[in-house]
Amino acid sequence: MTTAFPHRLLLMLLSLLLVACSEPKTELERVKQSGILHVLTRNAATTYYEGPHGPTGLEYDLARGFAEELGVELKMEIAGNVSSVLAKLAEGEGDFAAAGLTATEPRQLWARFTPHYQQITQQLIYRSGTPRPRSLAKLEGLLEITARSSHEEQLRKLKGEHPRLEWAINAEAGSEELLSMVWDKLIDYTIADSNEVAMNQRYFPELRIAFDISEPQPLAWAFPKFRDESLFQAACNYFNRLRENGRLERLIERYYGHLEDFDYVGTRVYMRHMHARLPEYRALFEYSAKEFGLDWRLLAAAAYQESHWDPDAVSPTGVRGMMMLTRLTAGELGVEERTDPVQSIRGGALYLSRMMAKIPERIQQPDRSWLALAAYNIGYAHLEDARIITQRQGGDPDSWKEVKERLPLLRKRKWYENTKNGYARGNEAVRYVENIRSYYDILVWFTDQEVPPPPPQPRALDITNPAL
């Protein structure tokens, strides 16, 4: 008995040593051993959202690239707003935060920030039709900002210069929601980062920039300081490589390079293109539309919204061709070359016909077409979420007029958190469909004015010719 005890003790010590040796020693080793990179983010057009063809957004693309480099699976956890992201990170949730965070001095006291991937300025936003404020000292109305944001930090600094400066804190809404509240005239002003303003002016064209309230500030990923630096250093190296090989610049261009030239309707340009570009492709639209039971003018209007009838068009998100198909969707539709107008137009017609087929049979035209086009843009699942919200509010889920009033709610957390498929850029889907309706109406009007060709005349027979 006296010799057995030390033997068992030795075995226990060896077992504990083996367990200790098998446990990861660093954060980087832990992530690689678990096989999952756990990233905190937030739903926004500038960060991460579920698009019609899967997850997208600048933060998503950056995080996905980092996960692929580490050889692990990416898991994005959605927090409601910046305040929620920071709270979760401080409590030890997630490996790091990729949520459009500004690397401010107060935050650097408890978090490590990677090299920046973008620089922004903070801007005071108001709505056109109201007087433009000239300074923070002369604001007349309600200024509302999101809680625990870099905007709150900046305003506290500026209050020393403007003692009468006051603002309201919103603990629930994110920056995009506050921008929509300015547009809806629910509040007079808000503060937003310049990249968010540029992105959201496409959806809220009446938003205006009064002036900057900060110098350029960096956006970066945030890592908690209470963990070792191994994963953080790997992320720093990753960003340095992205900058050196030009991929970071290409990603920024994909999401922001087109915004300055964005035009919602461009009716005069459209009518010019009707005469200069459409004749070359009209027969293709007519043929594919007939094959799938569509109005060729609706298909052509959708193609104009997608590409301005440019077969070589490439969007900021990588879709391309006349009908702006993703590589994945093109493969599902049998389209081998997206820039071939014959394949692209047929693929787009097939995809639109599939969306039409998913719309309940009881829904009649033209609502059937408008709902199908919304699904073409935002994804059928998100359209269904908006129809369910419409029904819950006592509206008609089969009416485009009723549904389009609810689609923008998919951008607001209090609504999308209670849907099956979450956040979506519903405003963009509404704008997309309404633009196509305008293009379609103009095209219908012009084609209805066309003089039909005369019917073929019977050939006069020469009775003196025996062959006839």
Active site residues: 306
Query: In sequence order, what are the beta bridge partners of 75?
Result: 38
CB 455 within 8 A of CB 82: no
CA distance 353 to 344: 14
Report the chain's terminal Cα–Cα distance, integer Å: 123
Strands, DSSP E only, in 147-263? 168-170, 190-193, 207-212, 217-224
CA distance 120 to 16: 51
Token pair recorded at residue 276? 């200069």
Query: In sequence order, what are the beta bridge partners of 97?
Result: 40, 222
Q: Which of 368, 118, 108 is nearest to 218 (CA)?
A: 118
CA distance 100 to 409: 22
> Which 8-state DSSP code applies to residue 412?
S
CA distance 85 to 110: 14
C-alpha dist (Å) from residue 10 to 7, 19, 22, 226: 5, 14, 18, 35
Q: Edge-to-edge strands of the sheet including 122-127?
A: 190-193, 122-127, 207-212
